[in-house]
Amino acid sequence: MIAIVTTGIAGLAMIGFLVWIHELGHYLVAKAFRIGAPVFSLGIGPRLAGFKWRGTDWRISMLPVGGYVQLEGADPFGDPDGDADVDPESDFMRKPVWQRLLVMAAGPVANLVLPILLFTTVLMLGEPQPDNHVGLVLPDGGAAAAGIQPGDRLVAVEGHRVAVWGDLMDRLAGRAGRDTRITLERGGQTLDVVLDGSGLALTEFDRIDSNPIGMYQSSYSSRIGVDDPSSPAGRAGLRTGDAIVEVDGTPIANLEALRAALAVGERHQVSVLTQQAGAVARRDGIALESDRNWAPREGDPLADRFGLIPVLAFVGTVTSDGAAAQAGILADDRLWSVDGHPIANWSDLVTRVGATVETPSAEAVPRPLQLVVYRGGEQIAVVLTPRLQRDIVISEVRWRPVMGVTQYPDVYVEGGIVKKYYSFFQAIPRALTETKLVALHTFTSLGNLLTGELKIREGLGGPVAMFRTAAMAWNDGPFAFARTIGIVSFGLGVMNFLPVPVLDGGQILFYSIEGLRGRPLSHQLRERVQAVGVLALVALMLLVTLFDIDTWLSG
């Protein structure tokens, strides 16, 4: 019930604010041209409450599904209101065509400009961002080769100060392909290290690729895997998926802390969180003792002397109808190697599976993989042919080969969060860049919808989707909520510019034709087109709402 109430409040708040901004755009430009506006309504239908100010009834109406500004001399569809008796000086329909066009365009323009204002405000108020401490360093990455260690605080790139992780990534993106000096703080000392430029590569979105660097702000959690029942961990009753939260009375936050705690002594008392009958339970007082007669298998870089392995390359779930299930892969299997290449973490697996096709497309045929897994201490060889999966990435359809398995959840622990404050002149260009990315996403989605590349349920969301999106952003805090409003606002602005009757774009089209012809279209023709537009819009809203409900119920 609380979740439903939260969803409703967040959705109404977002929709109400976006409608107010949109209609305010119409209202302000209308007033600039001395056009009367007797009603400014949030919602439609019967009036619930409001007040009158400067000749306008500012009201809240019963149905919270939109809003409108009533302009003197025009009906809600922008047609002449024959029953109205208004001053010719404030009559909307007697104003020049160019003024009417600007009034109609002002609403969508307000929605398009809003993201810049919101993003700028968020940045100036202090945006929560990941701090500049290193959480994880992979042993075979460029960061490890440079001598960077977990816990280091990275403070400068080539002498330029970095306060948050995003600053670091931006600076490294500008150094792609070149050796780069990084200044860090460790144990009260300041050190300089050099990252090999060969590991500084850009992704297709001109972002730095973190995988070759092997350095992350997050760290591995203390969730462990046990692939050998005869190991000390297996004999102690620990099992794959358990999270060790305490060692000898000391709380454990991540994998580094776990390893440090177990490095002292041969016997320990541990506490774990484990999954039992669909619920999480805590078990205390588990005796974990090393055994001189047991050692990790040869060539295993992940296991320690207790037989504890990070749950990085263990299968979390198996899709029932996927390639992995058909090949006999089970949940909790440890992925040891693919085509002879060892698997140290999940990204290794993703890379190897992705390489089974040269150019991903709907017609591509993935080649078979030779897998080795460990289950119950036994090595099992498996031949598996990945299947192609259709994904939507930044509103574009992508094809990729997949096994039909997922990684264990809660493998990572997020690092520290700090607020970064931007000055006005720092915030504006960043806000413009973020708005440009939102615009790219919106226009790409719209173009793919028009070409049929995207299905309606993949590219459009109705009221249910909007409410759910608002609720998730609301739960993430005011900054996430403000950003979500900006993103949705831009999309609404673009949609309202489409030349669809009953939308602002339809009115802009009619007035443009009137300007070219020198006279408006016939009232009868406009009425017919408006009727078709209303029916089409209602049908589309019903369709996307049904899709939203189906998606919601199916999880």
Would you name the residues annotated as active-site residues? 23
Instruction: Enter the tokens of residue 457.
Output: 């349920």
Residue 150 contacts residue 255 (beta carbons within 8 Å)? no
Going by the DSSP 8-state scheme, the letter that residue 74 receives in this structure is B
DSSP string, 177-213: TS-EEEEEEETTEEEEEEE-GGG--B-TTS-B-HHHH
* Tokens at 308, concatenated: 């504890």
Distance CA 324, CA 9 (A): 43
Cα–Cα dist 360/354, whole Å:
9
Which DSSP letter does residue 301 get?
A: S
- Which token pair is 489? 């606002």
CA distances from 115 to 9, 317, 434, 478, 484 (A): 21, 39, 9, 15, 9
Taking the C-alpha atoms of residue 538 and residue 54, their distance in angstroms, rounded to an integer, is: 34
CB 242 within 8 A of CB 225: no
Per the CB < 8 A criterion, the answer to whether 42 and 60 are in contact is: yes
- Give me the residues paired with residue 384 across strands: 369
Tokens 């900006």 belong to residue: 486
Return the structure tokens found at 9. 């409040």
CB 57 within 8 A of CB 40: yes
CA atoms within 13 A on the CB side of 488: 26
Instruction: Tell me how far the alpha carbon of residue 539 is from its chain's centroid.
Output: 29
Query: CB of 202 within 8 A of CB of 176?
Result: yes
Q: Determine the number of helices (DSSP H) and then strands (DSSP E) in the chain.
A: 15, 26
For residues 525 and 111, the answer to whether their CB atoms sit within 8 Å is no
- C-alpha dist (Å) from residue 514 to 46, 74, 77, 371, 381: 33, 16, 16, 69, 74
- For residues 418 and 164, the answer to whether their CB atoms sit within 8 Å is yes
Closest CA to 400 of 413, 391, 409: 391
